[in-house]
Amino acid sequence: MSSVAERIQDFNSNRLPFYTGLKYQAMAKDPFYFFRGTAHLFYEDLASANTLPAGPLTWVCGDLHLENFGSYKGDNRLVYFDLNDFDEAALAPAAWELARMTTSIFVGLNTMGVGAPEAKNMALLFLKSYALVLSRGRSRYIEPQTAKGIVQSFLLKVGERKQKDLVKERTIRKNGDIGLLVDRKRLFPIDDEALTKRLSEFVDGWMVNVHHHRFQVIDAGFRIAGTGSLGVKRYLFLLERLHGERKYLLLDMKLSLPSCMYVHFKNQQPAWQSEAARVVAVQERMQNISPALLRPVLFNNESYVIKEMQPTADKINFATLENRFDDMKEVLENMALLTASAQLRSSGRQGSAIADELMAFARDEAWIPVILEYGRQYANQVKADYNQYLAAYTAGFFGKIG
């Protein structure tokens, strides 16, 4: 069998080399970053182990972990806290999604220095909270009026943020003109002028023909965000309104690749028009309200997801909750509620189990200790894999460091 380093290199071989190097660098930080960047390893190993209960098929985001929940402004301009990454979305057993989330709790809390007993209690809390919400068969959502504690504070803060503040943070003025802030951390220049021109013309046409917004692209760059998707083509556009009061808009456009879960459930998937169509369709059916301007598009015969840019900071960083166990519990209960609600909301769609099947699954809690134990054991595997990866990375297997 190939080494961990070889499996990672093979999986990422179709990505842009320079930006994939940034992904490798991020994955070397700690085991949780490594876990976030290696969903493919997780599912390869899970399929080989074949130890989880079959359970019902449901729509899953495919990469559920502690930092794939966050706040955003929906297309109704209200603020929500929900699952927010659907690159790996697929039709799969509910138990697989739960196993990845449970493992992330063990890995994430262990990385923070939380002891094994407390981490186990937190993972168990998530699973039991999920089962309780799912068993009731009613999807729910979280907004400032229904949130509590730290999540409510988080949402209220986000709700106060204005679009102009985000634009100000991401732009720079020079000689009276405004342009994107190219800091070579969150944003890199697009070195190909012809590509920049084609991208800008494409977005201009899309804005007019699809949304009738009288905005025009005035700058573009290569965006860096997340961990798992680093190396994938992703662009950020700054648009200015052509008429009326001066107003700016930021758009994110990200290439969609096949889900790493597909190889395990290929025969169960619908025939999507494109990978971006898959991502958008599953996101729209799992979220209560989707982000503004969310659409699949085709550019240069490649499928992209386009949407209004959401700040990368709008996620709860668990590292800030160190030793705040009551806050951790409350956040995990919210995440469990959202996971169960997303599955209920998307139930009965294109092969997914109906709500009654999901409710029956939730009430038979025999699967809870199985998934809990799998997550605990696989967290140890993640740590071992990370150590192997770090050794290979430091030795230069993935190329020059820095």
pLDDT of residue 214: 83
Contact yes or no for 102/140 (Cβ under 8 A): no
Boundary-marking domain end, from 308, 343, 371? 308
Instruction: Report the alpha-carbon distance of residue 171 to residue 167 in Å, rounded.
Output: 6
- If asked whether residues 151 and 195 sit together in one domain, one would say no
- If asked whether residues 118 and 9 sit together in one domain, one would say yes
Contact yes or no for 290/74 (Cβ under 8 A): yes
* Residue range of the domain that includes 271: 163-308
pLDDT of residue 188: 97
- If asked whether residues 147 and 208 sit together in one domain, one would say no
**Residue 267: inside a domain:** yes
Contact yes or no for 78/400 (Cβ under 8 A): no
**Residue 316: inside a domain:** no
Angle formed by the axes of helices 116-136 and 355-363, nearest 10°: 140
- If asked whether residues 304 and 339 sit together in one domain, one would say no
**Model confidence pLDDT, tens digit, residues 162-180:** 677 788 889 999 778 899 9
pLDDT of residue 72: 81
**Residue 203: inside a domain:** yes
Nearest CA to 110 among 395, 386, 346, 345?
386
- If asked whether residues 149 and 10 sit together in one domain, one would say yes
- If asked whether residues 206 and 284 sit together in one domain, one would say yes
Boundary-marking domain end, from 258, 283, 308? 308
Q: Per the structure block, which two tokens stand in for 165?
A: 């503040």
Of the chain, the end-to-end C-alpha distance in Å amounts to 29
Q: Which residues contact 241 (CB under 8 A, 6 or more apart)?
A: 214, 215, 247, 248, 249
Instruction: Report the alpha-carbon distance of residue 14 to residue 113 in Å, rounded.
Output: 35
pLDDT of residue 402: 58
Each residue's pLDDT tens digit in the chain (402 positions)? 589 999 999 999 999 999 999 999 999 999 999 999 999 999 999 999 988 988 899 999 999 999 999 888 788 878 888 998 999 999 999 999 999 999 999 999 999 999 999 999 999 999 999 999 999 999 999 887 777 777 887 777 766 666 777 888 899 997 788 999 999 999 999 999 999 999 999 999 999 887 777 899 999 999 999 899 999 999 999 999 888 788 899 999 999 999 999 999 877 899 999 999 999 999 999 999 998 889 999 999 999 999 998 765 567 776 676 667 788 899 999 999 999 999 999 999 999 999 999 999 999 999 999 999 999 999 999 999 999 999 999 999 998 765
- If asked whether residues 10 and 143 sit together in one domain, one would say yes
Q: Look at the chain and report how many structural domains it folds into.
A: 2
**Residue 313: inside a domain:** no
Contact yes or no for 18/387 (Cβ under 8 A): no
- If asked whether residues 148 and 54 sit together in one domain, one would say yes
Contact yes or no for 204/241 (Cβ under 8 A): no
pLDDT of residue 43: 97
- If asked whether residues 168 and 262 sit together in one domain, one would say yes
- If asked whether residues 260 and 359 sit together in one domain, one would say no
**Three-state SS for 76?**
coil
Boundary-marking domain end, from 285, 308, 331? 308
Q: Per the structure block, which two tokens stand in for 300?
A: 């240069």
